[in-house]
Amino acid sequence: MDLELHLLVWKELREHFTGSELQDAAEDFVRILIEHGADAEKISEYSIDTEIKEALKDYIEFEDDVDEFDEDEDEYNYS
């Protein structure tokens, strides 16, 4: 699957959606890609589109900019 080509198609299609239709379309688009073998992590890596990133939240966890305590090192790690 040529993921870059699919994301270029999305870039052209997204102009034809407005408001909530855009997010719904992005969710459908991501679901279809994943159903056909695309890896959610790869989609996230190649896409900078905010609607696609939002749709991917159902499939992968994004790191938040939250301070985490590392028990092994007894110090805070800043994301």
pLDDT (tens place) for every residue of the chain, 79 residues total:
788 999 999 999 999 999 889 999 999 999 999 999 999 999 999 888 999 999 999 898 765 544 444 455 545 444 4
The 3-state secondary structure of 46-75, one letter per residue? HCCCHHHHHHHCCCCCCCCCCCEEECCCCE
In the numeric block, the tokens 């999305």 are attached to: 10
For residue 18, give the amino acid letter. T
- DSSP class of residue 64? P
Helices vs strands, H then E, count in the chain = 4, 2
